[in-house]
Amino acid sequence: MKFTHDVIVIGGGAAGLTAAGGCALFGLDVALIEARKMGGECLNDGCVPSKALIAAAKRAAEANESERYGITLQPPKIEWTGVHKHIHDAIAAIAPHDSEERFEEMGCEVIRDWAKVTGPQTVEVGGRTLRAPRIVIATGSKPAVPPIEGIDETPYLTNENIFDLDALPDHLVIVGGGVIGMEMAQSFRRLGSAVTVVEPGELMGRDDPDSVAVVRETMEGEGVRFVKGLAKKVEGKEGAIRLHTEDETVEGSHLLIAVGRTPRCKGFGLEDIGVEMDRGGIKVDDRRRTSVKGIYAIGDCRNGPRLTHVSGYEGSNVALEITLGVPTKVDWSALPWCTYTDPEVAQIGMTEREAREKHGEKVTIVKETFHDNERSLAEGNDKGHLKLVLKGKKVLGASIVGKNAGELLLPFSQSITGKSSTFALGSAIIAYPTRSEISKAAAFTAWEPTVFGSIPKKYAGFVASLRRRFS
Ligand SMILES: Cc1cc2nc3c(=O)[nH]c(=O)nc-3n(C[C@H](O)[C@H](O)[C@H](O)COP(=O)(O)OP(=O)(O)OC[C@H]3O[C@@H](n4cnc5c(N)ncnc54)[C@H](O)[C@@H]3O)c2cc1C
Ligand SMILES: NC(=O)c1ccc[n+]([C@@H]2O[C@H](COP(=O)([O-])OP(=O)(O)OC[C@H]3O[C@@H](n4cnc5c(N)ncnc54)[C@H](O)[C@@H]3O)[C@@H](O)[C@H]2O)c1
Condensed to tens digits (0 to 9), the pLDDT of residues 309-343 reads: 999 999 999 999 999 999 999 999 999 999 999 99
* Helix (H/G/I), strand (E/B), else coil: 172: strand
Answer whether 280 contacts ligand 2 (Cβ < 6 A): no
Q: What residues in the chain have per-residue pLDDT under 50? A: none
**What pLDDT, on a 0 to 100 scale, did the predictor assign at position 284?**
98
Give the max Cα distance, the chain: 75
**What pLDDT, on a 0 to 100 scale, did the predictor assign at position 1?**
66
Q: Write the DSSP symbol of residue 292.
A: S
Q: Considering every ligand atom, which ligand is closest to the CA of 337?
A: 2
For atom 21 of ligand 2, the residue with the nearest CA is 178
Answer whether 277 contacts ligand 1 (Cβ < 6 A): no
Q: Are 38 and 106 in contact (CB under 8 A)?
A: no
Q: Are 23 and 319 in contact (CB under 8 A)?
A: yes
Q: Considering every ligand atom, which ligand is closest to the CA of 207?
A: 2
**What pLDDT, on a 0 to 100 scale, did the predictor assign at position 471?**
87
Rounded CA gap, 297 and 9, in Å? 10
Tens of pLDDT, residue by residue over 112-141, are: 999 999 999 999 999 999 999 999 999 999
**What pLDDT, on a 0 to 100 scale, did the predictor assign at position 132?**
98
Tell me the β-bridge partners of 125.
Answer: 115, 128
**SS3 sequence of 36-89:** CCCCHHHHHHCHHHHHHHHHHHHHHHHHHCCEECCEECCCCCCCHHHHHHHHHH
What is the C-alpha R_g of the chain? Answer: 23
The Å distance, Cα 274 to ligand 1 centre, comes to: 24
Q: Are 238 and 153 in contact (CB under 8 A)?
A: no
**What pLDDT, on a 0 to 100 scale, did the predictor assign at position 279?**
87
The Å distance, Cα 263 to ligand 2 centre, comes to: 14
* Helix (H/G/I), strand (E/B), else coil: 144: coil
Q: Are 52 and 90 in contact (CB under 8 A)?
A: yes
Distances in whole angstroms, Cα of residue 211 to Cα of each of 52, 301, 367, 381, 466: 23, 29, 11, 16, 52
Distances in whole angstroms, Cα of residue 279 to Cα of each of 168, 266, 381, 437: 35, 11, 43, 32
Answer whether 229 contacts ligand 2 (Cβ < 6 A): no
Rounded CA gap, 320 and 426, in Å? 14
For atom 47 of ligand 1, the residue with the nearest CA is 36
Q: Are 430 and 367 in contact (CB under 8 A)?
A: no
For atom 19 of ligand 1, the residue with the nearest CA is 307
Q: Considering every ligand atom, which ligand is closest to the CA of 42?
A: 1
Q: Are 370 and 388 in contact (CB under 8 A)?
A: no
Rounded CA gap, 322 and 463, in Å? 9
ipTM score for this prediction? 0.98
Answer whether 90 contacts ligand 1 (Cβ < 6 A): no
Closest CA to 342 of 259, 405, 385, 397: 405
